[in-house]
Amino acid sequence: MSLFGTGRREGILAVVVLTLLAFTVQSPAWITGAKRAGLRPEAADPAHPKAATMGPRDHQAAKREAAVNQTVVLPALGAFGRQLRSGEASLWNPKARFGEPFAVSGAPVYYPGYWPLMLQGGHRFLELVLALHAAIACMGVYRMLRATTLTRYAGFVGGASYGLGFFWLAAGDRLPEAAAAALIPSMLECTWRVRVKRNRDHTVA
């Protein structure tokens, strides 16, 4: 059985390999035990009981994770989750800039893919969430390229280059951009399929 041959099994194998690569790159703790930088909640919240125990090296490590995740998105998602658990649903995000409505905030509280981050201790799921979105990005590009009649080899290389490359790794440091980057390939695939179907129907007519 060839990874880039023909048949459904080869296609499934390509998707499985891309998914495993995505988890290896985005969730290194599962493989090497090394976490992504800046996932400690005390680094994001100065009021955290352990914030005073952080030294200069800890703060420097936290800065390697994009400030948007660490100082805006994760605290806002956590605050929104706490309010939901108390029976309220806040409309205002005090964590972003000088405060702004959640509906236009950089914290995607209404996006189901990030709901695990609103759970108690949700920052611990960040690696898993990023890994899932990297896998979605890889598979999305793979399917998009296959929809354009390119080979499985081209689809595999394209999916790996997109979902495991520098562009997506940089987007992963900003959760709203990570979601958009992960879902855009699937949207392009759907657009392509609709366009091709319309062209065929127009030709037949």
125-177 per-position pLDDT tens digit: 888 888 888 889 988 898 888 888 888 888 888 888 888 888 877 777 778 88
Q: What is the pLDDT of residue 69?
A: 72
CA atoms within 13 A on the CB side of 119: 12
Enter the pTM of the model: 0.73
Q: What is the pLDDT of residue 37?
A: 46
Q: What is the pLDDT of residue 7?
A: 66
Rounded to 5 degrees, φ, ψ at 69 are: -70, -45
* Pair of tokens at residue 48: 């955290």
Residue 98 CB burial class (10 angstroms; 0-12, 13-18, ≥19): exposed
Nearest to 177 by CA among 167, 187, 191: 167
| Residues of the chain falling short of pLDDT 70 | 1-7, 28-68, 71, 95-97, 103-106, 201-205
Q: What is the pLDDT of residue 18?
A: 83
